[in-house]
Structure 1
Amino acid sequence: MSRELRLMMPTTPVVETDDRQLVQTIREGDADAFETLVRRKTTKVYALCYRIIGNAEDAKDISQLVFLKLWENLEKYDPAYAFDTWLYRMVTNVAIDFMRNKQSRDNAVNSTLRLVKTEADAEQGVVVQRKEVENVFNDVSSVLSPKQKTIFIMNQMEDLPSAEIAKILGCRESTVRNHLFNARKAMQAQLQKRYPEYAQLWRSR
């Protein structure tokens, strides 16, 4: 058969195994399937760890710990629920434990351009640079509890609705909303106290 004819023939599409099927394959003893799962989820796990912790090396360590716990607890996964929801819960629990046990909280999350504007405000004479935003967030978010910070990040950075966050953390949606409200209130108070020009930008959003 000529090369041209082979190229014209329809090919069978490669169907990627979904997460639930992959987990079942791992449970049946396929170690290669676990490597596939790790490769598939590494970027997502690391990104969330980094946003919560704010330090690249710590995020790598936490990611490795997450996958270790994933391997140890895979039998507990209930396929009736979305795998990512279960995985997010594991990531947030490990990250929250890390923050609670960490003596220094100098490294806050590299976040959040939603907190303040990042463009120049000619009328107010305030030019907010990205590094300044990180430093301000680092400062004002230090008043938050680990859970408040995690919920704030998941909502503001991961764009997760409160209902989904509640599933991930195993709490009521009203609890998530309360944490979000208190986090915003606490950070706004800190902005008003320490960075009044940023607080003014917050109110103008």
Structure 2
Amino acid sequence: NGNVVYKARHYSVTPLGPRSGLIQWVDGATALFGLYKRWQQREAVAQVLKNQAAGVTIIPSTILRPSEVFYNKLNPILKEKGISVDSRKEWPLSILLHVLKDLMSETPQDLLAKELWCSCSSALEWWEVTQTYSHSTAVMSMIGYIIGLGDRHLDNVLVDLATGEIVHIDYNVCFEKGKNLRVPEKVPFRMTPNIESALGITGVEGTFEHLVNMY
């Protein structure tokens, strides 16, 4: 389609020295972690209201960071198996997979998809935003693969909910530097259930796959 421009949202970086510089502020973008955090807050409020309706007075618990949620599930299993928490190289893959599946079952897979839907005022606008999101995700996935970009945690992947554009920040771990970390990064780009669900009903087999095959 000659009318579609495939591009990556970028921003300016001005070096001031070997270890410092100025980075342009990215307007209108929200970190994916912010969406996850908002869901945690909504769940906490819903639990409080549920307790109040049942006549139970419970002080709301502190919202845990993702790492705390992870270790709260992992540590008891490791302790039961007699494995030290500090010995990451000894953690059995089966245990890590069990914890991952447990965490995935507790986290909705449509957090991003719903945020994109709620940001639109019509079905046509939602379709256009979803198409832009699919294009942007495909382009950035290929760019990330080509330059060996790692460290793609939820604070380094942003989304502009008004347009659907994905914006990646923090390119420090590039040229496959992530493969040399203490816990090597082996995936070519981030494709989690939430990112895939936001691609629409065809998932990775629609616009995303078409553009990836083009590259």
TM-score if structure 2 supplies the norm length? 0.27
* Bigger radius of gyration among the two: 1
Could you say which structure has the greater relative contact order, defined with CA pairs below 8 angstroms and 6 or more residues apart? 2
More helix by share: 1
